[in-house]
A = this chain, B = another copy of it.
Amino acid sequence: MDLLKDAMLTITEHVEEVANSLKKREINSLVKSILKAERVFVYGAGRSGLVARAFAMRLMHLGISVHAIGGIVTPSITKKDLVLLVSGSGESTSVVNTAKIAKNVGADVSLITSYPGSSVGKIADYTVTVKGRTKHKGERDFMLRQMKGEHYTLAPLGTLFEISVLVFLDSLIVELMDRLNITEDDMRVRHATIE
């Protein structure tokens, strides 16, 4: 239970750091690319894909034309579209391939990543940097390990990146609501009737 609570606070602390380290210029570019796109296509591998899809659902609630790449009724991409990718490492094979194909088509490519200098980062037109696990975190883990005499972590694998991106994207929705003058009631009307 102490471990559980400690893990939760490690995560919120990290998300707060992310909130404080976001770059205004990066956010503005992302918002502009979303608003000018004819349609937004989102993609990520594994849990980053779940986060991308959670964001796509909210974009739909805003009335923005959006598709999840790999979806059943996802159409072809054109140069008027935005492809928004989520990848902590920026190196997942399927994300690299998606970025390449999107660029070939002439679409805008945005990437949310911890590594803007990664393979996908080099292809993307716009990048938003969201910190994942850092040395600082490692040290904290280390102390805890010492205390408990075991090898473990308070946020295994991509957890910190994935949750930070979800909180960031859900907050970006609020920013978009404001710019598009959309209320929560407008969103509720578009919410899926049958889930």
* Contact surface of A with B, Cβ cutoff 8 Å: 1, 3-5, 7-9, 11-12, 15-16, 18-20, 22, 24, 27-28, 43, 45-47, 49-51, 53-54, 56-61, 66-77, 92-94, 97-98, 101-102, 105, 148, 150-157, 159, 162-163, 166-168, 170-175, 177-178, 181, 183-184, 187-195
Contacts and interface: CB of A to CB of B under 8 A. Distances in A.
A12 B19 contact: yes
Given A8-B167, A170-B163, A195 B94 contact: yes
Contact of A47 (B15, B57, B157): B57
Contact of A71 (B73, B94, B170): B73
8 contacts: A1-B24, A3-B175, A53-B72, A60-B74, A69-B194, A97-B194, A157-B184, A157-B188
Q: Is the interface of A mostly helix, strand, loop or mixed?
A: helix
A181 B28 CA distance: 44
Copies of this chain, count:
4
B192 A174 contact: no
B174 A3 contact: yes
A20 B150 CA distance: 25
A54 B45 contact: no
B5 A9 contact: no
Contacts of A60: 73-75
